[in-house]
């Protein structure tokens, strides 16, 4: 932003030398540069890499919970959207849904999130049903990786 302000001051100095006609052009250019600078600082509001890295544990916990909410609701296309781009290149949405369709998940809670740089380890407390048995609870580890400012789920092999 300081660079733009300096350029605007330089442009204003040139305008004094160039006369009235050039002043309007340079003034318009300065206004345009300020507008671009303000728009660039405002961002798009869709999340930025700095937001994803500022509090990664919070962001990943929210995304993991949203993914499990989708799975419990059997919304496999929504759950598929949380897979990393690399995983989605190798596994089609239909193959993903076919592989996990048999689950009868009842509840999932994010127990812990530990992040180091661009990788987070998540522990999920998962309650599920199996045949005629009562609900069973287990712990499930998950991997989440940061790519292009977004945290993605990467299935374990």
CATH number at 49-154: 3.10.450.50
DSSP codes joined into one string, 36-93: HHHHHHH--SS--HHHHHHSHHHHHHHHHHHHHHHHHTT-HHHHHTTB-HHHHHHS-H
Which residue ranges in the chain fall short of pLDDT 70? 1-53, 102
Tokens of 59: 């962001």
Query: 141 near 119, Cβ under 8 Å?
Result: no
pTM of the shown model: 0.65
pLDDT in tens, 57-88: 999 999 999 999 999 999 999 999 999 999 99
Given this model, what pLDDT does residue 53 score?
A: 62
């Amino acid at each position: 932003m300081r660079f733009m302000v300096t350029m605007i001051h330089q442009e204003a100095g040139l305008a004094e030398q160039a006369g009235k006609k050039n002043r309007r052009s340079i003034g318009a250019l300065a206004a345009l540069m300020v507008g671009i600078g303000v728009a660039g600082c405002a961002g798009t509001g869709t999340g930025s890499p700095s937001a994803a890295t500022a509090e990664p544990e919070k962001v990943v916990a929210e995304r993991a919970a949203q993914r499990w909410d989708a799975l419990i609701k059997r919304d496999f296309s929504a759950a598929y959207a949380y897979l990393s781009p690399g995983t989605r290149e190798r596994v089609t949405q239909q193959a993903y849904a076919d592989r996990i369709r048999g689950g009868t998940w009842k509840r999932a809670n994010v127990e812990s999130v530990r992040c180091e740089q661009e990788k987070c380890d998540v522990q999920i407390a998962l309650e599920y049903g199996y045949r005629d048995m009562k609900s069973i609870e287990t712990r499930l580890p998950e991997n989440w990786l940061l790519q292009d400012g977004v945290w993605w789920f990467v299935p374990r092999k």
